[in-house]
Structure 1
Amino acid sequence: MRRGYFGIGIYHTKMEVNIGTLWRSAQQLGAAFIFTIGRRYKKQSSDTSKAYLHLPLYHYLDWDEFKSHMPKNCLTVAVEMGGTALSSFAHPERAIYILGAEDNGLPDVIVDDCNMLVSLEAINIPSYNVAVAGSIVMYSRLFG
C-alpha cells in the first residue's frame, strides 16, 4: 500500500453534481479529504454512497485562503492541460490535486503557484469532465 495521503478538489466548479461524483470516487480511492474553492457544496443525488458521512469536505473562499490552510510538507498538483503526461507522472507521497472549473480550467496564476502540473492524455480532445479527470488521477495514484 502506498504511504502518505492525498486530497482532491475543484476550483470554482459550475456543476454541483461533479462535486458529488468526485466525492464518491475520492471515498472509493482512498482520499483523505476533498475540497472546493469558491463554491459551496449542497448534497447531491450523484453521491449514492453517502461519502459525506465518511470523508470530510472543506470549503475555501479563494485560493489564498486555501493556501493558508494546506497541510505542511504537502505538494500541490494542478490537473490541467500542458503538464507531464499522467502515464509517466510520479505522484508525490503527500499531494493535493487541484482541478479547474468545467469551462475555464485553472487560472494561470494557480497553475504557476502549484508545485507540479499533470495532464491526462486523450485520443481526441484532451478535455475530460472534471469529476472523471479527478477519478482518473486518483486511480493512477493507486494503481498506475
Structure 2
Amino acid sequence: MKYTTLLIVFIFSLAFNAYAEEQKLADFLRSFDYDTRIEMKAGVRELVDLLHEGKAQLIDIRFHEEYKAWHMGVGTNIPLDELPNRLDELDKNKIIVTACPHKDRAIIAMTYLRTKGYETMYLKDGLIGLAEFLRGDNAKDFIEQTFK
C-alpha cells in the first residue's frame, strides 16, 4: 500500500511538472508582442558591446562536430540537444545570447531558456554574420577589448 501511494504521488508529480512546463511556454506566447520581438534579437554590434561590458554570455548551440570544424574563440559550446542538462553552465546574472550559423536553432534555444527564466536573446545575424564582422580592425579591436 505504501509503495502504491508513493507511485501515485510520483506519477501526479510528473504530470504536474509537465503541465507547469507547458504553461511556461503558453505564458511566453501569450505575452509575446512587438517589444518582445525586438528585445529577443541581438545584432552583431550589440553582442560585441555586451561581451565587452561583461553583460552577456554567448552560447554556441551547434553540434560538437560543427564547433570543432570552426569556432569564434569566444563563447561556450552547448549543443541544442544538451542544453536542458547543462543549464548550470549558464550565468543567470548575464544576458544569454544563443547563436548558430544562421539563427534557426538559436531561436529554439532562446525560447527554451526564456521559459526557464533566463534573460535571453538570439544572434540575429548568426555566427556567419559574426565571422563576417570580426575581420581586420574589428577582429583586432574585439580581441584587445574582450581579452584584456
TM-score (norm 2): 0.30
Higher strand share: 1
Q: Which has the higher contact order (CA 8 A, sep 6+)?
A: 1
Higher helix share: 2
